[in-house]
């Protein structure tokens, strides 16, 4: 296998694995909502923005005839629809946004998954010389770093308590 083919396969594989991992990160939120029958510490906006993103990329993949974009975003759209329906089912007050200086409602695993997914898709777009793929995934990298900064600035209480127990 030639070097370019191997690198392309590696990037392709990273895109699929990281993206599906990111989409499945919501399964823990889904489990939490089902067990508690509430949406405590679960944010609606990531589900909605990812759903819109999936539908946009699904359309682009269909226009371009790119099988990887079609398959990955079909799975993502289905999962995000499931998460949104569960959220709407368990949320007593729709569209309520609580602004605090706490990262309790931010998902650290989802932040890592978003960074890895966006970076791998940027590399995929770079290899294809497709600026639409590169540019549209760059905000995911930027917002991940913003969320990492928020985690640093406002550490979660349980993490601080765990750290205190370790000293």
Does 113 reside within a domain?
yes
Does 42 reside within a domain?
yes
Question: Could you give the number of structural domains in the chain?
Answer: 2
| pLDDT for 49 beyond 80 | yes
| pLDDT for 1 beyond 50 | no
CA dist 91 to 33, 101, 102, Å? Answer: 9, 22, 20
Instruction: Report the range of poorest mean pLDDT among 125-129, 138-142, 159-163.
Output: 159-163
| pTM: predicted TM-score of the whole model, two decimal places | 0.61
CA dist 98 to 14, 39, 56, Å? Answer: 35, 12, 28
Does 163 reside within a domain?
no
How much is the pLDDT for 163? 47
Does 160 reside within a domain?
no
Does 56 reside within a domain?
yes
- The rounded distance, in Å, linking the Cα atoms of 34 and 89 is 10
Q: Is 43 left (phi over 0), alpha (psi -120 to 50) or beta?
A: beta
Does 141 reside within a domain?
yes
How much is the pLDDT for 71? 92
- The rounded distance, in Å, linking the Cα atoms of 143 and 24 is 19
1 and 62 in a common domain: yes
143 and 85 in a common domain: no
Q: Which domain holds residue 61?
A: 1-95
51 and 8 in a common domain: yes
How much is the pLDDT for 65? 92
pLDDT interval class at 104 (50, 70, 90): low
- The rounded distance, in Å, linking the Cα atoms of 107 and 38 is 17
């Amino acid at each position: 296998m030639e070097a370019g083919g191997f690198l392309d396969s590696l990037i392709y594989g990273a895109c699929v694995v990281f993206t599906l991992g990111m989409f499945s990160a919501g399964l823990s939120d889904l489990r939490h909502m089902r067990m508690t029958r509430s949406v405590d510490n679960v944010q609606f906006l990531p589900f909605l923005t990812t759903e819109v993103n999936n539908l946009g990329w699904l359309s682009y993949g269909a226009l371009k005839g790119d099988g990887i974009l079609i398959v990955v975003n079909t799975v993502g759209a289905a999962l995000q629809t499931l998460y949104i329906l569960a959220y709407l089912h368990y949320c007593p007050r729709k569209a309520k946004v609580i602004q605090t200086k706490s990262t309790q409602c931010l998902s650290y695993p989802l932040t890592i998954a978003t960074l890895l997914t966006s970076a791998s898709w940027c590399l995929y777009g770079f290899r294809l010389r497709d600026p639409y793929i590169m540019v549209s995934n760059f905000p995911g990298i930027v917002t991940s770093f913003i969320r990492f900064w928020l985690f640093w600035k406002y550490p979660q209480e349980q993490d601080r308590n765990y750290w205190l127990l370790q000293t």
